[in-house]
Amino acid sequence: MGFVFLLFSAGCNRAALEPDSVTSTRVQVDRDIQAHQSAVDDAEKNKSENLAVINGHVFFLEVADTNLKRANGLMNRKTLPPDNAMLFVFSEEAILTFWMKDTLIPLDILFLDHTLEIIDIKTMVPQIGALEKDLIRYTSKKPAKFALEMNGGLTQKYEIKTGMIVQLNLDW
């Protein structure tokens, strides 16, 4: 990705054109380019080959497939891009229970069985400052092998329903 920066000057004073100020401006522009490229690189890393397609809508996935990743989930995040989601992977099907400990954004959670059929959907609401004992528990109606969290309201917006099959493309 290339960047072109144009510098226009109209009625600028002479000090602005002195070598020291030009050098410091060039350094700042270089830093700005590097910062922008770093942000682009980070965004590209997040948009990995881990994808879910549900009812024609594509979601870029973060995969939580270890105890630590599952425990942290989407805690302490202020935003989640609308085309991103987190897939929780478990070794066996079981009744799964989630809560919103330190989670700042409303989420929809889809519980999937081993065939990737959506067996349950719940909308989870933040409970900022609630004691652990007071947190609402969101439990799957049936045993599930996967849970998929996305921004709250997207299941309704995209007409995602139980019984639908999720297509996964996982890079692992």
Amino acid 34: pLDDT: 57
Token pair of 135, please?
């947190």
Amino acid 31: pLDDT: 58
Amino acid 41: pLDDT: 47
Amino acid 66: pLDDT: 96
Amino acid 171: pLDDT: 83
From first to last of its 172 residues, the chain has per-residue pLDDT tens of 443 333 333 344 444 444 554 455 555 555 555 544 544 444 455 445 899 999 999 999 999 999 999 999 999 999 999 999 999 999 999 999 999 999 999 999 999 999 999 999 999 999 999 999 999 999 999 999 999 999 999 999 999 999 999 999 998 6
Specify the residue for token string 């973060």: 62
Topology of 51-169 in CATH? Jelly Rolls (2.60.120)
What does the domain layout of the chain look like in residue ranges? Answer: 14-46, 51-169
Whether the CB-CB separation of 52 and 61 falls below 8 Å is answered with yes
Residue 75, SS3? coil
